[in-house]
Chains A and B, each alone.
Chain A
Amino acid sequence: MVTENQQTIRGSFELKDVSVTYGVETAIAGVSMDIPPNAVTALIGPSGCGKSTLLRCLNRMNDELGNATVGGRILLDGVDVYAKEYDPVELRTKVGQVFQKPNPFPMTIYDNVAYGPRTQGIRKRAQLDEVVERSLTRSALWGEVKKDLKKHAFELSGGQQQRLCIARALATEPEVVLMDEPASSLDPISTQQIEDTIAELKENVTIVIVTHNMQQAARISDLTAFMLRETMEAPAFLVEVGETRAMFTNPGDKRTEAYITGRFG
């Protein structure tokens, strides 16, 4: 994965033999894959196969659960993010996350978006104004809210709240944005808007998205990774990862084919 333009294009992950154990139960094991920069990588697989678990490895949110141990190596732009001296707080400013359920903070729209930059110590009003506008524009919400940035975030619709959460994640200028089923609680129109946003975002950020919706994976992703847990005794693993179009038209593994054609999961 080492290329000449790695200096300029950032936000690529390399996973090497990654495993996650909750207490004594190993949930995923032996996951090795590359996540290319400025592209959308979809994680698919049946419920409980460890998609969210794998996603949480990438911004070390697993650390916060208290019972998870991560094995293997995860490199962001060539740097081991699980190295002892690597600060997870810093990692999370480079790798943002959008959750399944919209979870804006109980404060104004403006304060929601400004939360990340303020956390990094930015206090100047003009600078914050600019970040807020830019982030909301990128998440396609600016037009709808520019007149009432002082409005409480809870007054927005579910779809608007989710786009607010995307703006909030973008405000720290991350290289990667992780999305765990970001549209699963939304109506079709809001889902469409989120998908459009993702398509624009990948111009300059890497996106890793978990989705249960095969059409959605096919529509928006460049790469697809299929995970599977065959028995409760054994951990889940990565069945295959490849270009989305190839995978959906001509899957290399018959389990992948069975899953994407809806025969199980």
Chain B
Amino acid sequence: MTRVQRARFIQTLAVGITGAAAVFIIAAALFLLVYIVVRGLPGISWAFLTESPSGQMKEGGIYPVIVGTLYLIAFTALFSLPVGVAAGIYLSEYAARGPATRAIRLAISNMAGVPSIVYGLFGLALFVILLDFGKSILAGALTLACLTMPVIITATEEALRQIPSDLRQASLALGATRWRTIYRIVLPAAGPGIVTGSILGLSRAAGETAPILFTAAVYYKRQLPDSIFSDVMALPYHIYILATQVTGRPDDIIWGTALVLVAGVTLLSVLAAAWRSRQRRKVRW
């Protein structure tokens, strides 16, 4: 082989390998989605979505389970969004480049790398036992918030970084303070990016089992939660329980629950993406 022939061969090989990887990813994602839909659909019905489990969990619906997850995610958002967005603003707009800031960034990326079961243990120790919140929506949401925070901080920082410094300069040059520049100019422009990133983080939290295992989720509960100190049923935990603890696995219910979880999370991301592209068309620079 001449050198040119060899170069051409390597080139073809590179296209082939990277292309195959891309096709593999798409196929895997598609297969996963189709499989969940096919296995899940038979279990889905109006009654499934609106009734409580019955008959040793092998019959009935998952209404309280859906409600439990909705509560957990709503409170997770309530706790993690303000703090995460504020920290992201601080890092992007105020913090001077230096060892302290680098240490904070390192801490955040480490936090993102901690296994979720460790967050579960941490939540048990701090929120359930030490602060005495018990196994509750409050303790579970706080634990999930710790898990989600790094994602929100990073998303906020990224979104703020995308805003051209031109706009900040223009605002400062008009006699606006830094804070006014941030909340009147930078934040509105970065809003869509922040929201999309945060929703991604929250959808991950919605599907986590380990953090709520010791802090919020229960096996079975007749009534709906009546305060943030109630424990709850939750979608991922419900799947885990049905698949491992119930004799004679009720497949339709397991896969139906999985489909509800995936559909909910997907719906959130699609809504976020749609909203973002609408904002983008309004706000371009």
Residues of A within 8 A of B (CB): 59, 61, 64, 66, 89-93, 96-97, 99, 101, 103-106, 115-116, 119-120, 152, 154, 165, 168-169, 172
A66 surroundings in chain B (CB, below 8 A): 96
The prevalent SS among residues of B at the interface is helix
Check if A97 sits within 8 Å of B173, measured CB to CB.
yes
A-B contact count, CB below 8 Å?
Answer: 64
Residues of B within 8 A of A (CB): 96, 164, 166-167, 169-177, 180, 184-185, 188-189, 282-285
Check if A165 sits within 8 Å of B284, measured CB to CB.
no
| Contact residue among A96, A105, A154 (Cβ-Cβ distance under 8 Å from B171) | A105
Distance from B18 Cβ to chain A, minimum over Cβ atoms (Å) = 38
Check if B96 sits within 8 Å of A92, measured CB to CB.
no
A59 surroundings in chain B (CB, below 8 A): 173
With CB as the reference atom, state the residue of chain B lying closest to A97.
B173
Most buried by B among A66, A101, A106: A106
Tell me, in angstroms, the Cα distance from A97 to B169 when the chains sit together. 9
Check if B166 sits within 8 Å of A115, measured CB to CB.
no
B185 surroundings in chain A (CB, below 8 A): 105
Whether A154 contacts B175 in the complex (CB less than 8 A), given A99-B166, A99-B169, A119-B180, comes out as no
Check if A89 sits within 8 Å of B177, measured CB to CB.
yes
Distance from B167 Cβ to chain A, minimum over Cβ atoms (Å) = 6
Whether A115 contacts B169 in the complex (CB less than 8 A), given A105-B185, A152-B282, comes out as no
Tell me, in angstroms, the Cα distance from A119 to B184 when the chains sit together. 10
Whether A119 contacts B174 in the complex (CB less than 8 A), given A106-B283, A106-B285, comes out as yes
With CB as the reference atom, state the residue of chain A lying closest to B279.
A106
A154 surroundings in chain B (CB, below 8 A): 284-285
Known: A105-B170, A105-B185; 6 extra A-B contacts, CB below 8 A, are A61-B169, A93-B174, A103-B166, A106-B284, A106-B285, A154-B284
Check if B189 sits within 8 Å of A172, measured CB to CB.
no
Tell me, in angstroms, the Cα distance from A135 to B193 when the chains sit together. 34
With CB as the reference atom, state the residue of chain B lying closest to A93.
B175
Check if B189 sits within 8 Å of A106, measured CB to CB.
yes
